[in-house]
A = this chain, B = another copy of it.
């Protein structure tokens, strides 16, 4: 793609270039732009039809947007902004440095500036920040024919046009109607007879993750956002909901790996910022594992007189950590998919304990066999200590893997912070304690 475009630019075949560009889907431009130099991007951008240019602009990474804005004349910038949807404009303003924001706001129509300022005022991660204020609203006494006239007049984008909302005079929402239902209805039928009066709405302050989950559940293409008085103020479309879903999942992955979540992509994040996002949890966890070290210290005399004990510490620590992270991952995911709820606490715990007993016994048997093979039958006491510890550690790890995320949820914290790294550290402490205590008892050290 890149070579073909460069060739056409070089040969000044702008008409062919326009045709070629038309055949490329808007979503393929961002990656294309990353491989091109600024002056080439500008040539391409100026050739594109206005609407497509705006589509592409909305999909670009913030740093490419900034570069592009700095190259555009005020008139060009104005035409880009005029074509953007409100939600994309707001995203843009939030990402740009203040001097660019000034230039953008200067080129926004005065009547739009009010809407943008309102959208900017919603708290982070709420439905208000991802909604757009462009949608099709109908009146209940319109005929189907009138409705189509209005749809044709307003136009808009796919997701924003296929679901229409029926409003009262004071803009309260009383029904929803799909274009599909309008299509199969008689032209003279009234909107109020076709609309579905059972509208599922979201509030401007709803959490964006909850909103995204509702899309997954109800298979909507768009959902209406209402204010406290049930007046329609905007809609969230499915493409934005999918983006939120992806973002939130990425956040969960990062939290669960003890990384502070970061909006920017891996390569766009500087080395220093990467280090900053990772060091906090590492220091915290390192300090916690000092406790485990302290416990080991306490049993100095035990392992000095029986040094082989030490060689099982890694096995116990690793197994405990792995068992804990298995359970915590399943519980955390269960929460985020609404499969597990707080009231299921004992049900989950009881299940985990039974799984732990099964798994722990299996591991103990394998380990006993291995000790007999490696050290002979003389070491049956050692096999007993390690085997018992294994079973206890697995039960403990799986219990904590279920209790800690549940506790976080109960305290209205994000359960994802209770993922493997933290649980591993806690389980480590306990397993070392149990192990040496059992060893002291059984060997009589």
Contacts and interface: CB of A to CB of B under 8 A. Distances in A.
A25 B359 contact: no
Most chain B CB atoms below 10 A, which of A22, A221, A256, A274: A274
B282 A322 contact: yes
A325 B250 contact: no
B314 A183 contact: no
A329 B256 contact: yes
B242 A339 contact: no
Interface stretch (A63-71, A101-109, A283-291): A283-291
Contacts of A245: 242, 245
A271 B355 contact: yes
B326 A314 contact: no
Interface residues of A, number: 110
A367 B307 contact: no
Interface in A335-352: 337, 339-340, 344, 347-348, 351
Contact of A424 (B180, B238, B239, B321): B321
Interface stretch (A42-50, A295-303, A405-413): A295-303
Q: How many copies does the complex hold?
A: 2
B326 A258 contact: yes
Contacts of A152: 183-184
B330 A259 contact: yes
A326 B162 contact: no
Interface stretch (A7-15, A111-119, A212-220): A212-220
A303 B307 contact: yes
Contact of A330 (B27, B161, B266, B303): B266
A370 B289 CA distance: 13
Interface string A186-225: 0000000000011010000000000000011111010000
A33 interface: no
Contacts of A257: 325-326, 328-330, 420
A442 interface: no
Interface string A366-380: 110010000000000
Interface string A290-327: 10111011001001100110111111011101110110
Interface in A245-279: 245-246, 249-250, 253-254, 256-259, 265-267, 271-272, 274-275, 278-279
Nearest to A353: B271
A359 B198 contact: no
A179 interface: yes
B340 A282 contact: no
Contacts of A215: 242
A358 B285 contact: no
A425 interface: yes
Interface in A64-110: none
Interface in A395-415: none
Most chain B CB atoms below 10 A, which of A179, A219, A286, A303: A219
Given A285-B322, A286-B366, A267 B333 contact: no
A425 to B, nearest CB: 6
A428 interface: yes
A359 B278 CA distance: 8
A141 B80 CA distance: 35
Most chain B CB atoms below 10 A, which of A285, A347, A424: A424
Given A178-B158, A242-B242, A271 B351 contact: yes
Given A25-B198, A253-B329, A282-B359, A292 B314 contact: yes
8 contacts: A162-B180, A257-B325, A257-B420, A272-B358, A289-B318, A293-B315, A294-B311, A318-B425
Given A24-B198, A25-B200, A267-B344, 7 more contacts: A152-B183, A161-B183, A219-B239, A287-B366, A289-B318, A297-B307, A313-B313
Nearest first, the 5 A-B pairs at minimum CB distance are A257-B329, A293-B311, A292-B314, A275-B358, A289-B318
